[in-house]
Amino acid sequence: MPQPPDLEGQTTDLHIAFPANPAVIRDTLLRILAVPPLSGLSAEARGNAELVLAEVLNNVAEHAYPERAGPVSILLRRVDDGVCCQIVDRGLAMPGNRLPEGELPDRLNLALDDLPEGGFGWHLIRSLTCDLIYVRSHEENRLSFRLPDDG
Amino acid sequence: MQLQTQTRPKVISVSVLEDRIDAATAIQFKEKMRDATKDSPARVVLDLARVQFLDSSGLGAIVAVKKLLGPDRMLELSGLTPTVEKVFRLTRMDSIFTIHPSLEVAVSHAATA
């Protein structure tokens, strides 16, 4: 059973790696939120950070590593106006080597059967981050963004 | 994933007794909701007052439950915490559900309807 990383004594920038497995992701997220730099954010910004990181990491688990849980790393750095994040994995590339648009359907007065059950993730990520950049190189996916601290 | 169900003459309420509905629990949530609402009356109130975290998988599961209930039954929501409310608002899914401030309000509303 893969174990989440030990974050005792965490004080400044955070750089950790762990297997992209749903249970480990959930446990690691809860630990990351409790230590700097995310613990220094407002309650609202921390809630946004939890949601964005959960969406990004679960996408890695589901789409980059569909067969087995591979390694993912997170680098978090406090800046004046928030926290800069970089998330790196060595799994499959994004389709077309670019980020999904995450567009919602134009109209939501759809027939019951046509209501979307997915595709919300990238919309949420795009809504709650700034400076979102995706680079595919050297067989790595490298996603970076800033979580604004405007709470 | 623990759900608490209360059946009344015209409405059934289901309270989620967990603090998260996320990628790790969304499928289980959907299955338990399917069981809890089998042969339910026309109105189903899903109380989310205990839920502090909902991600896109959890949201997708709630929409899936609405679809499972079909056109003749209504899924209503109550007790959205601030972060959960934000997920519904940002994805505009707040527009496809009737959302009550609390389970008590939802049930009294159902009783007089």
Tell me the per-residue pLDDT of A1-50, one tens digit each, with 9 for 90 and over.
666 677 766 667 899 999 999 889 999 999 999 999 999 999 999 999 99
Nearest to B87 among A23, A51, A112 (CB): A51
ipTM for this model: 0.89
Q: What is the mean pLDDT of residues A87-92?
A: 98
User: Å from A12 to nearest chain B CA?
Assistant: 26
Residue A4 lies in a domain: no
Q: CA A42, CA A119: separation in Å to the nearest integer?
A: 28
Does B111 have pLDDT greater than 70?
no
Residue in A22, A47, A50 nearest the CB of B24: A22
Exposure pattern of A72-111 as b/e (b: 16+ CB <10 Å)? bbbebebeeebbbbebbbebbeeeeeeebebeeeeeeeee
Element (H, E) at A86: strand A82-89
A117 vs B contacts (CB less than 8 Å) = 60-61, 63-64, 67
Give the mean model confidence (pLDDT) for residues B26-40: 95
Q: What is the CATH number of the domain that holds A29?
A: 3.30.565.10
Digit-coded pLDDT (tens) for A54-69: 999 999 999 999 999 9
B3-112 has which CATH code? 3.30.750.24
**Confidence class for position B16, pLDDT limits 50, 70, 90:** very high
Phi then psi for B97, rounded to 5 degrees?
A: -120, 145
Cis peptide bond upstream of A37, omega within 30: yes
- The reply to whether A7 falls in a domain is no
Residue A2 to residue A98: CA distance in whole angstroms: 30
Smallest CA–CA distance, residue B98 to chain A, in Å, is 14
Are A76 and A85 a contacting pair, CB within 8 Å?
yes
What are the DSSP calls for A1-59, one per residue? ---PPP-TT--S-EEEEEE--HHHHHHHHHHHHTSTTGGGS-HHHHHHHHHHHHHHHHH
pLDDT the model gives residue A115:
82
Q: Residue B4 half-sphere exposure, CB side, CA atoms within 13 Å?
A: 9
Q: Specify the number of domains making up chain A.
A: 1
Q: With contacts defined as CB-CB under 8 Å, which chain A residues touch B81?
A: none
Within a domain: A82: yes
Nearest alpha-carbon partner for B94 in B74, B113, B77: B77
Size of interface A-B (CB pairs under 8 A): 73
Q: Is the pLDDT of residue A71 over 80?
A: yes
Residue A128 lies in a domain: yes
CB A11 within 8 A of CB A71: no
| pLDDT band, very low/low/confident/very high, at B110 (cuts 50, 70, 90) | low
Per-residue pLDDT tens digits for B63-91: 999 999 999 999 999 999 999 999 999 99
pLDDT for res A36:
93
Is residue A31 assigned to a domain? yes
> Token match 């789409």: residue?
A63
Q: How far is residue B109 from each of residues B81, B99, B100, measured CA to CA in Å? A: 20, 11, 9
- Give how far Cα A147 sits from Cα of A46, A129, B76, Å: 9, 5, 32
Domain that holds residue A31: 14-105+118-148
pLDDT number for residue A118 = 80
Nearest one of A13, A1, A123, A120 to A74, comparing CA atoms: A13
| More confidently predicted of B8 and B4 | B4
For residue A90, the 8-state DSSP code is -
Identify the band that residue A114 occupies on the pLDDT scale cut at 50, 70 and 90: confident
Confidence of residue A102 (pLDDT cuts 50, 70, 90): confident
State the pLDDT confidence band at A107, using cuts at 50, 70 and 90: low
What is the total residue count of chain A? 151
Q: Determine the residue among A117, A122, A150 to mutate to test chain B binding: the one whose Cβ has the most chain B Cβ atoms within 10 Å.
A: A117
According to the model, what pLDDT value does residue A112 have? 81
pLDDT class of B31 with cuts at 50, 70, 90: very high
Which has the closest alpha carbon to A64: A19, A8, A124?
A: A19
Q: How is chain B split into domains, by residue range?
A: 3-112
pLDDT tens digits, one per residue of A122-149: 999 999 999 999 999 999 999 999 999 8
Query: Is B91's CB within 8 Å of A50's CB?
Result: no
What pLDDT is recorded for position A1? 61
**DSSP string for B13-72:** EEEE-SSEE-TTTHHHHHHHHHHHTTT--SEEEEE-TT--EE-HHHHHHHHHHHHHH-TT
Calculate how close chain B gets to A120, using CA atoms only, in Å.
Answer: 5
Residue B103's SS3 state is helix
